[in-house]
Structure 1
């Protein structure tokens, strides 16, 4: 079997393990920024709150005031409002995704026009 010789300038395994944080990444500062931007999280929380409040609120506002106690119509209104919140979230998410991909290219076009 072949054995590996240690070169005098190379550290042995024991010398490498003596140091705390012997990995190459240990000397670097850690990057603790979240993978998802804060604005995205806030939009998700806002639409989550709207998904709870809007259908329930629309049910209780319409059951007595608009539909005179008919819970079926008020329930249908609440379901429609839940779908409207969901559609609104999808539209906002798609607009945000498009602005991320088209944003830098449009900025460059606008800058050329300004000059």
Structure 2
């Protein structure tokens, strides 16, 4: 009976502090990078054209999101490769 209960347990991996730091860093950059790119491009690149500055800010926000997604996928693949594979539980027929 305890074997059956053990099968239902979930594999809960504790997130490392590096993952939490990455989440906080990207959350802050998602707010700071578009605003900074908007005002910087408004004054220095587009000479006051707010439409082009807004497009620059949208591009910067999307760039931050794409970088976060790519790094998360790479981190997940690395975690899956380093974790040991669990063997399937043996059935009653195999006992």
In the superposition, the TM-score normalised over structure 1's length comes to 0.59
User: Partner residue of 1:91?
Assistant: 70
In the superposition, the TM-score normalised over structure 2's length comes to 0.70
User: Partner residue of 1:75?
Assistant: 54
C-alpha separation in 2, matches of 1:65 and 1:95: 36
In structure 2, runs of 5+ residues without a counterpart are 1-12, 85-95
Divergent runs of 4+, >3 A: none
Offset, 1:104 = 5.5
Aligned positions of 1:13-52 closer than 5 A = 35-52=14-31
C-alpha separation in 2, matches of 1:62 and 1:38: 35
In structure 1, runs of 5+ residues without a counterpart are 1-33, 106-115
Larger radius of gyration: 1
Deviations 1:45-76 (A, max 9, x none): 00001101100000010001100100000000
The DSSP-based 3-state class of the residue aligned with 2:15 is coil
